[in-house]
Structure 1
């Protein structure tokens, strides 16, 4: 909520302009509380959003922090020519991390920057292509690119904390002819080999018959994920243990929803905060990988690995 390029901003929820005075903002908040309160016929979900919006912009310090950009421009720290991606450094954290390769969200960030500049127009200076006002005024397809890039980066930070027993590949190209055919992440560890899809639809989603559904869902993302994983598995001569769709916590009804087998592969849809739990314990029906087999699978993947 509020931290996605696809979601309504705190100002939208309060029905004021971003440059509204503090007094106007306070009056708008009180009005929205009366309009949305369940006891007066309002929507309880919107009532909660109004309160959350006030928490984000209700004080000068909070508002200043919110206006700086909601983290839209906070790319993970990495060296573009380095073999291993590393998240933003945390000096106090000395725990062993998973071995990580590739640039999470990199393809979509690059595509976003290209399209946002084309949309703004030739000769227009964009000192900050991640400015919240600019992002939220852009067409949906452009905002969606940035939302998914941020989602991939958030997942990368989580899987990096799994520990040295895991190897992770990000932004893996599955079809050299089409850069959009890719796996956001591949995670290999004792619980198995998993293909991950990191998404942010900007709205709650549900599942039906092994697929995601919702007003913002286009196509068949789970079926596409499974087919892409199976194709890469054939190229590397390995078998994926399962597939996991990672969504913002606010957009899923339950933290972990296991869908059973979809086209022969166990699939789970999880909220972001539950991802580490799922990857450590595995998905029901998924085959674990241990001992020498883990090293063999890693070697086979490295031999065919290409990045988007």
Structure 2
């Protein structure tokens, strides 16, 4: 169980309501221990999740802290990856370091949807004193919490790219005829279409597509990203170097999981994204002239969500 807003709460793991009695919690915990124990052919990952859930709400004091939001979580009200100016910026306190060119509003659409749905869920559009209150967020349905997790993931990617310097340009929340691209990133190693994802669970690659308990049924993250990237390429008359799905470090077992044989798609741990953007997946490099040409085409073609 991670601290991502998208992760199942201890109550969801144990399959009980948040209002369940302590006795009901204990019965659910013991039943799931028997069902998931590896010695009885259970799932070790689920067994571990059940134990973590019990550690968080198994006694009255721990449960009180969890319910009040005083245990650690991934909830965040910050929006450091908000809309950036269309000129290079100097990093505060970093001397002469200049950040990457940044356009668009990373995570903005997901945060807007989160706020709308939180208000509807909490009281028919009522104004909330603090929609990011940890106890309130934890009690919200998981589909609402996923929106906050998406926003945080997109903002994290924007911050990481910003630190790469003036040689890079990032466009966030890009609209295409085949869906939205979280980020389009241009640098010396090529042009990348990037999806920033956090499903609050482990994921794995099966037949070229990501699967996991947190991925909603019917979603195809890898194929959806590829379709939107191809659409942008046709509209802007540019060639994408690679598509990248960026996930939390603990969500996938391999640091970089390549898809197919063309070195043009991969699942990447979040901490390794700067390295991949610097080095590329297959040793590709763009000349300065190529970078200027691609940037110009994109500037005239990109539309934001």
Report the TM-score, using the length of structure 1 for normalisation.
0.76
Query: What is the DSSP-based 3-state SS (H/G/I as helix, E as strand, rest coil) of the residue aligned with 1:67?
Result: coil
Q: 1:294 to 1:102 in 2, by over 3 A?
A: same
Indicate yes or no: 2:185 matched with 1:187: yes
Q: Specify the alignment match of 2:251 in structure 1.
A: 251
Cα distance in 1, alignment partners of residues 275 and 38 from structure 2: 39
CA RMSD of aligned residues (A): 3.9
Indicate yes or no: 2:70 matched with 1:67: yes
Tell me the alpha carbon deviations over residues 230-254 of structure 1, each in whole angstroms, 9 at most, x when there is no partner: 1111111100001000011111011
Shift of 1:74: 3.0
Shift of 1:222: 0.8
Report the TM-score, using the length of structure 2 for normalisation.
0.77
Q: Specify the alignment match of 1:128 in structure 2.
A: 130
Shift of 1:73: 3.2
1:5–1:143 CA contact under 8 A, matched in 2: yes
Q: 1:93 to 1:174 in 2, by over 3 A?
A: farther
Q: 1:124 to 1:74 in 2, by over 3 A?
A: closer
Cα distance in 2, alignment partners of residues 86 and 10 from structure 1: 42
Cα distance in 2, alignment partners of residues 185 and 197 from structure 1: 7
Shift of 1:155: 1.1
Query: What is the DSSP-based 3-state SS (H/G/I as helix, E as strand, rest coil) of the residue aligned with 2:258?
Result: strand
From 100, 103, 114, the equivalent of 2:102 is 100
Query: What is the DSSP-based 3-state SS (H/G/I as helix, E as strand, rest coil) of the residue aligned with 2:194?
Result: strand
Shift of 1:279: 1.3
Query: What is the DSSP-based 3-state SS (H/G/I as helix, E as strand, rest coil) of the residue aligned with 2:228?
Result: helix
Tell me the alpha carbon deviations over residues 182-222 of structure 1, each in whole angstroms, 9 at most, x when there is no partner: 11011111111000001111111111222112232542211
Q: 1:80 to 1:273 in 2, by over 3 A?
A: closer
Shift of 1:137: 2.3
From 293, 298, 301, the equivalent of 1:296 is 293
Shift of 1:136: 2.5
1:226–1:265 CA contact under 8 A, matched in 2: no
Tell me the alpha carbon deviations over residues 111-162 of structure 1, each in whole angstroms, 9 at most, x when there is no partner: 1111111122236441111122222222232222111111111111111112
Shift of 1:3: 2.4
Cα distance in 1, alignment partners of residues 85 and 298 from structure 2: 18
Cα distance in 2, alignment partners of residues 279 and 78 from structure 1: 18
2:171–2:183 CA contact under 8 A, matched in 1: yes
Q: 1:271 to 1:106 in 2, by over 3 A?
A: same
Query: What is the DSSP-based 3-state SS (H/G/I as helix, E as strand, rest coil) of the residue aligned with 1:260?
Result: coil
Shift of 1:296: 0.4
Query: What is the DSSP-based 3-state SS (H/G/I as helix, E as strand, rest coil) of the residue aligned with 1:250?
Result: helix
Cα distance in 2, alignment partners of residues 249 and 119 from structure 1: 31
Within 5 A, what are the aligned runs for 1:28-39?
Answer: none
Shift of 1:69: 7.2
Q: 1:253 to 1:290 in 2, by over 3 A?
A: same
Aligned positions, number: 287
Cα distance in 1, alignment partners of residues 119 and 271 from structure 2: 34
Q: Specify the alignment match of 2:208 in structure 1.
A: 210
Within 5 A, what are the aligned runs for 1:46-65?
Answer: none
Q: Specify the alignment match of 1:21 in structure 2.
A: none
From 149, 152, 155, the equivalent of 2:151 is 149
Gaps of 5+ in 2: none
Cα distance in 2, alignment partners of residues 130 and 48 from structure 1: 28
Shift of 1:163: 1.9
Shift of 1:2: 3.3
